[in-house]
Structure 1
Amino acid sequence: MEYIKKANDISMEITEETENTVKQIIKDVKSSGDEAVQMYEKKFSQSSRPLRVTEEEMEESIAALPEETKVLIERIVDRVTKFAEAQMECLLPLDKDFGDGIRMGHRIIPVEKVGAYVPGGRFPLLSSGPMVTAPAKVAGAKRIIACSPANYNGSIHPAVLYGLKCSGATDVFAIGGAQAVAAMALGTETVPEVDVISGPGNRFVAEAKRQVFGRVGIDLIAGPSEILVFADETSNPKACAADLLAQAEHDPNSRAILVSLSKEQAEAVIEEVEQLLETFAETSPAHEAWSSGGEVLVVDSLEEGIKCCNDYAIEHLHVHIPQHETFKDQFKHYGSLFSGEESSVVFSDKVSGTNHTLPTHRGARYTGGLWVGNYVKVATHQTITGNGTQYLAEHATAQSEIEGLEGHRLSAEWRLKN
């Protein structure tokens, strides 16, 4: 393995300052509700508007949206919804016998109230709202509370509002940052308390989700976008470069990594990246992301390359090697896999239907990211009768005696006697 370009060390640790800032925000929202939320909105977003986006405000805002933009958003909602429905079909209830008189199973129960955080960010991302809210609607959530920063003419961008409306949000609030997460987790006079909070955000949003976890569920804690392109001598350098920069432009701390079986190809990709960057606006985050977080390495074999990909456990894994289908199952750790040169990560970012809220910082070792399953509970049940009661009670009584748990023994023993 040889590094052609090495990324700078990027600390993934939450700073003490961020942790303490978020802790104070949550404490203030808990004690002062709407008053604290509005104080932080004014402090961080210079917003003094009402927290709730009314139906009238939403309709007026959406009315100014071009029809072609509405069509794009409707297509996003449709495709994300259909993929979530297909996933939901895989989640089946269970009810079967596990011995004479022992019947057990589980039910698929929707989470009742979902909190959807939709970042404002540098651009009004049309897909962000539907990616978080549409699967919640498919799962059967009764109420979907969405929060997004008021960073567009004193409100939420009309495209974001339309996406939320089409994908099932029942309540929309113009609140951003940690104060939005705190409001949804704790509840205020205006913002309902939720059961689960989902959606990406900046470091304050991520830290707020970490601190409220336990009181509410969360999907995952995701950071800036990541991509690893796996290539060989046949892979097109310009296509690889374009795919790397597509994710690098999300954030200055984005990670864009090339793992190649060919040094010549790797060097050609670097050259293409540098040329393409000259066409990007000077303010594009892609410049800093590539400079500090871009990484290029050459591996000696396909096996070493696959191991390298698994070690990175990257958010987006894009395989540009033509024979990708023959070794696809060897990839074990990724947020989402893109097989073949034509399978652009951008398609998933925008409209293919798979979710773009994915694990970063090697979180792909233990999760695949946001999906419809985040919005349901798999709750078990059991009915024990007759011979099943006798069998289990004998075991439980003996085990409780060994463990010294008198109450457990009495409960099991009563079943034996009766």
Structure 2
Amino acid sequence: MIKLKEPAITKDQRDKSIQQKVAEIIDKVKREGDKALREYNILFDGCDRENYIVTKEEIDKAFQEVSSDIINDLRFAAHNIEEFARRQKETIKSLEEKEIMPGVFLGHRTIPVRSCACYVPGGRYPLPSSALMSIIPAKVAGVKRVITCSPPAKDTKTINPFTLVAMSIAGADEIYVMGGVQAIAAFTYGTKTITPVEKIVGPGNQYVTEAKRQVSGEVGIDFLAGPSEVVVIADKTANPVNIAADLLAQSEHDPQARGILLCTDEAIGKAVIKQVEDFLFDLSTADIARQAWINNGQVTVFDTLEEAIDTANEIAPEHLELQVQSPDEVVPKLTNYGSLFIGEKAAEVFGDYVSGTNHILPTMRAARYTGGVWVGTFIKIATNQRLTDEGVKAIAPVASRLAHLEGLYAHKLAADVRLKNM
């Protein structure tokens, strides 16, 4: 194994003081409701709106401000995202009651959560794609109340028009001009003007992530997301230009983003490093991308493809690209990733925006135990059972003995009385 480039920063980059700051904001919103919400919206976003719900007039104005070409592009992306979500939903079926032994019938129902909030980050640039990726699967799942929020655009009191148009196209039922920890708290506990929800999804900065961590349990969440990351597995047949572009596509997200190349050919590794530097020379987002690449970029050359595969499974990346000669032979060996991009034509950027798969994906090795947001994120599988006299006779004695074994005598009683009353 040869490490052509290693990360400059390897320490945990989470600020431990964030936990306390977030807890204070959540507690104040929980206690003071709209008063605290207004205070924090002014403090953090300079937004002194009295009513934070977006009006129809604001949505109409946003559509007037956005070009028809962009609107058509957003609708094109929305169609693909919805189509894939519908096909996913077809795989989630209720299980009709089946008799697993004489007199014992078991089944399950698929039940969408009643309400959810889709958090859409603001930041330096609008992120309308994140609105599509969270709202559309929730609507396809059958969630009755899908609300969303995003911080106001700089020097305004409303959401960026591109994001607002995307929220409308996606079908949000309520749209709020707010962001940050205070929004997470308001959607969890509710205020006089905001009804709480049952689940919160969507990416955010480290404060939003910590807020989701702290309210988890009071409300459902998708997962805790960190800086964006991509791993590319490549062999000698890969295209260095494509790989360099894809590594930078992740690096420009955030100074903490990670672009990682695991390859089996030293020449490819060196060519990618050179191409990254060439691209950075005139990339308009080079200030962030270069910092991320220097701090977190990694290029490692392995003796065998198996070693690269094992390393990728250990990293469990958000995005995993497979640029090798025989990808179909490798796919079954890959087990930990948020979304997989097979072959050099399947650029990660397509999944970010328009192909139809979701881009709200697990980071920080969470792909070891969960996938990304999808229509199933908003659907519960709830089991049911039904017994006849024959079933009670068969299983009640066993239940009674096991309850006695565990010292749960009311459990034993509940089984015994059913036998006795037959």
Q: TM-score, normalised by structure 1?
A: 0.98
2:176 counterpart of 1:191: no
Q: Distance in 2 between matches of 1:41 and 1:414?
A: 59
Report deviation, 1:14: 3.9
| AA matched with 1:61 | A
Residue in 2 aligned with 1:99? 101
Query: Residue 128 of structure 2 contacts residue 164 of structure 2 at CA under 8 Å; is this kept in 1?
Result: no
| AA matched with 1:109 | I
| AA matched with 1:279 | D
Cα deviation, 1:254-285, whole Å, max 9, x if unaligned, reads 00001110111101110000010001136641
2:113 counterpart of 1:111: yes
2:245 counterpart of 1:245: no
Report deviation, 1:299: 0.4
Cα deviation, 1:224-263, whole Å, max 9, x if unaligned, reads 2100111111211111101111111111110000111011
User: SS of 1:397's equivalent?
Assistant: helix
Query: Residue 38 of structure 1 contacts residue 51 of structure 1 at CA under 8 Å; is this kept in 2?
Result: no
| AA matched with 1:189 | K
2:133 counterpart of 1:131: yes
User: SS of 1:90's equivalent?
Assistant: coil
| AA matched with 2:146 | I
Map 1:370-389 → 2, pairs under 5 A: 370-389=373-392
Q: Distance in 1 between matches of 2:147 and 2:282?
A: 40
Map 1:98-247 → 2, pairs under 5 A: 98-152=100-154, 153-247=156-250
2:12 counterpart of 1:9: no
Query: Residue 181 of structure 1 contacts residue 208 of structure 1 at CA under 8 Å; is this kept in 2?
Result: yes
Query: Residue 103 of structure 1 contacts residue 384 of structure 1 at CA under 8 Å; is this kept in 2?
Result: yes
Residue in 1 aligned with 2:42? 42
**Cα root mean square deviation, aligned:** 1.2
After superposing the two structures, state which structure 1 stretch, 378-387 or 145-154, moved more: 145-154
Query: Residue 263 of structure 2 contacts residue 305 of structure 2 at CA under 8 Å; is this kept in 1?
Result: no
From 320, 323, 329, give the equivalent of 2:323.
Answer: 320
From 337, 346, 349, give the equivalent of 2:349.
Answer: 346
Report deviation, 1:45: 1.1
Q: Distance in 2 between matches of 1:295 and 1:251?
A: 16
Query: Residue 358 of structure 1 contacts residue 368 of structure 1 at CA under 8 Å; is this kept in 2?
Result: yes
User: SS of 1:361's equivalent?
Assistant: coil
From 387, 407, 411, give the equivalent of 2:410.
Answer: 407
User: SS of 2:338's equivalent?
Assistant: strand
Q: Identity over aligned residues, as a percent?
A: 43
Q: Distance in 1 between matches of 2:14 and 2:254?
A: 17
User: SS of 1:87's equivalent?
Assistant: helix
| AA matched with 2:172 | A
Query: Residue 41 of structure 2 contacts residue 48 of structure 2 at CA under 8 Å; is this kept in 1?
Result: yes
Q: Distance in 2 between matches of 1:239 and 1:280?
A: 15
Q: Distance in 2 between matches of 1:334 and 1:244?
A: 16
Report deviation, 1:10: 4.1
Q: Report how many residues are paired.
A: 418
Structure 1 stretches of 5 or more lacking a match? none
* Distance of aligned partners of 1:371 and 1:12 in 2 relative to their CA distance in 1, 3 Å threshold: farther
Q: Distance in 2 between matches of 1:10 and 1:124?
A: 30
Q: Distance in 1 between matches of 2:13 and 2:290?
A: 23
* Distance of aligned partners of 1:214 and 1:282 in 2 relative to their CA distance in 1, 3 Å threshold: closer
Q: TM-score, normalised by structure 2?
A: 0.97
After superposing the two structures, state which structure 1 stretch, 299-308 or 6-15, moved more: 6-15
Residue in 2 aligned with 1:51? 52
User: SS of 1:343's equivalent?
Assistant: coil
Residue in 2 aligned with 1:270? 273
* Distance of aligned partners of 1:74 and 1:12 in 2 relative to their CA distance in 1, 3 Å threshold: farther
